[in-house]
Amino acid sequence: MAPVEIAIVKALKDSGGELSMNDLVSKVQENSKTSVADVKSAVLPMISGECIQMTPDRKLRLHE
């Protein structure tokens, strides 16, 4: 897993498992100097790979 993906998973775990995209970007950027584009571009493959799922209200959640 790439460092940005690890940071995304950690941010979701620390937040209770569900965040909006903007909140996720903010959480990841608190702990690293990752750009907004890097975080957003890492999310789509994680959704496709079934690591993250998008809820009906467009929040991101760790896949169980």
Task: Tell me the pLDDT tens digit for each residue of 2-57.
Answer: 999 999 999 999 998 899 999 999 999 998 889 999 999 999 999 989 899 999 99
Q: How many CA atoms lie within 13 A of 57 on its CB side?
A: 4
Concatenating the DSSP letter of every residue in 5-57 gives HHHHHHHHHHTTSEE-HHHHHHHHHHHS---HHHHHHHHHHHHHTTSEEE-TT
For the chain, what is the domain count? Answer: 1
Stated pTM of the model: 0.90
* 62 membership: H or E segment, kind and range: strand 60-62
CA–CA distance, 48 with 16 (Å, rounded to integer): 21
Say which CATH number the domain at 9 has: 1.10.10
Range of 8's domain?
Answer: 3-62
